[in-house]
Amino acid sequence: MFDLDPRLKNDCIGLCRLSLSHLLLMNNALFPWFILVPETDVAELCDLSTEKQLLLLDEINRVSRFVKAHFVMDKLNVAAIGNVVRQLHIHVIGRTLDDSCWPGVVWGSGKSAPYPEAERQRILRLVQSDPEFIPIMQG
């Protein structure tokens, strides 16, 4: 049984289950901000098995290419932090030179705006029909 951390459940929108991870969208329309939550009990990337690291690396690559393909962005921010939510999760965020936090990081900025329902649905459909995700989408 996999339990998503309550804070991630509260702050994010579930998109799909991939080979190893659950793919979430941070409910913040200011940034294309995706989160991968691998099904594991370890808190650190380096404590994942080699097999799981390789699955996760593939998923990070797919999410990165997805963000590059579908959103205006100048730079990706890819990070495993986990100071507040200890459950291992990897942020993949598209940043632009004119976003509200640039060039600072988004974590802790407090800048947030929930998605309008239509935009949330649009991103969900984008993910569910994207050739990056279809081969590794579960269930």
Contact indicator for 75, 48 with CB cutoff of 8 Å:
no
- Is there binding between residue 42 and its own copies (CB under 8 A)? no
Q: What angle do CA 54, 65, 43 make, to 5 degrees?
A: 40
Provide the token pair at 112.
């947030």
- Is there binding between residue 1 and its own copies (CB under 8 A)? no
- Is there binding between residue 75 and its own copies (CB under 8 A)? yes
- Is there binding between residue 36 and its own copies (CB under 8 A)? no
- Is there binding between residue 127 and its own copies (CB under 8 A)? no
Q: Does residue 103 have a cis bond before it (omega within 30 degrees)?
A: yes
Sites of contact with its own copies (CB under 8 A): 43-46, 53, 57, 60-61, 64-65, 68, 75-84, 86, 95, 102-105, 107-108
